[in-house]
Structure 1
């Protein structure tokens, strides 16, 4: 069994420890998300994704423990198990990344159709209306697709322009205003609809998630590469001492020492 370079061993343990830390963080995030979405009405549609998150967080975490043990104790079976397991889950992540890149152009239209199904906003559920109202205040917009017209004859108070607004405002018809306001001046509401801003925000989140997945995959691939190098080094045999042939040894160039006893 060959000897593993100390720097190589420490580098592998460091990278593998990072794999375990990332897996632990992903597991914590998945548990938090599962608990947060437990009461959501659409939890059944998300359960498959949550199970996938559990898999890609728990498996690398367990494999990292095995890999560090194999490196510290120089156990080939542990290193082989780590390498095979990480290769398989890395391939799974690569497939997910490819699928994400393929469907990415279609996500924007899918988001648009999903939110347009809630129009008109006056007929949407109370929880959805509350979410849109919070969004209107945060993004300084009004309505989803057609601006304040999406609220019909009951424009939300959250559409009112605030002082110092960076987004343009327009005068809304007074017949659609049913909250207290100054009747001597026109009621100004945000002109821009929220749907383009919302889709842009969600697509940014998608891009960030794909980037994180790519970074995690590269970290996994690096750990596998280091593991394979260590396995190759362990399979090498250390060179034994070199035997040097000397013609003098064959010639029998020896000196015999004898003791002569003198008798007096």
Structure 2
């Protein structure tokens, strides 16, 4: 009867040992953020409109799942246990299928997300020229955003500010290091040509490409894990 390939066996062990370590690190950091005083200060310093504990709980779940899968893969390879290898294969396959479903769902709802994002940004552009308390809060946030990301106005550039332009002009003004092609003249001031909505759209597009790249890389690793585990499973059965 054919024996178990040592190269596949120990490659499977090393792969899953690193997998288990990653899960342990994720779980440890998530638990520290959840229970420690300093960790709670970090997660509660984010935007008030979001629930920071939801992300931490998700990290705990992800870390625990990765740890369990890594343990099953390591023990299944070393002990040559078909049961553990089969559980590892099923778990990894479910994760891969969930990733695929999430990708399909993301591609399906992407046009709707873009539409909602554009509608929200166009509505907020009107707040720049208003004088209400709600508008002032948004204007303060926009001034900080313009300073940091070197853009001016939301949709139509500096004209979005209307009569409020003077109070935001400093955040719109180009720095001495900014190229002339990136600036335009408005009400006697040299301001950024790029609107903040175009910057946000570029940022979203870049992040989507990064997320797709990471997901694709993970999918390749997961497929290799599935192949190695099934090959090892078959070899153990044929001993």
TM range, smaller chain = 0.7 to 0.9
Q: Which moves more between the two structures, 98-107 or 82-91?
A: 98-107
Q: RMSD in angstroms over aligned alpha carbons?
A: 3.1
In structure 1, the residue matched to 2:82 is: 76
Partners of 2:119 and 2:55 in 1: CA distance:
21
Q: 1:159 aligns with which of 163, 172, 181?
A: 172
- 1:30 to 1:196, Cα distance in 2 relative to 1, 3 A: farther
- 1:94 to 1:48, Cα distance in 2 relative to 1, 3 A: farther
| CA displacement at 1:30 relative to structure 2 | 6.5
In structure 2, the residue matched to 1:41 is: 48
- 1:37 to 1:112, Cα distance in 2 relative to 1, 3 A: farther
- Deviation string 1:48-73 (CA, Å, 9 cap, x unpaired) is 77665554443123211121011112
Q: 1:171 aligns with which of 186, 190, 195?
A: 186
In structure 1, the residue matched to 2:115 is: 109
In structure 1, the residue matched to 2:155 is: 145
- Deviation string 1:216-239 (CA, Å, 9 cap, x unpaired) is 1221221111001101000003xx
- Deviation string 1:160-185 (CA, Å, 9 cap, x unpaired) is 1222323122122xxxxxxxxxxxxx
- 1:77 to 1:130, Cα distance in 2 relative to 1, 3 A: farther
State the TM-score, normalized to the length of structure 1. 0.71
Aligned to 2:124, the other structure's residue is in SS state coil
Aligned to 1:74, the other structure's residue is in SS state coil
Partners of 1:27 and 1:208 in 2: CA distance:
24
Q: 1:214 aligns with which of 213, 216, 233?
A: 216
In structure 2, the residue matched to 1:242 is: none
Q: Which runs of 5+ in 1 are unaligned?
A: 173-185, 238-264
- 1:134 to 1:27, Cα distance in 2 relative to 1, 3 A: farther
In structure 2, the residue matched to 1:223 is: 225
Partners of 1:196 and 1:232 in 2: CA distance:
54
Q: Which runs of 5+ in 2 are unaligned?
A: none
Partners of 1:104 and 1:30 in 2: CA distance:
29
State the TM-score, normalized to the length of structure 2. 0.77
CA contact (8 A) 1:160 1:188 kept: yes
Aligned residues: 223
Aligned to 1:118, the other structure's residue is in SS state helix
CA contact (8 A) 1:100 1:210 kept: no
CA contact (8 A) 1:141 1:159 kept: yes
Aligned to 1:152, the other structure's residue is in SS state helix
Going by fraction, where is helix more abundant, 1 or 2? 2
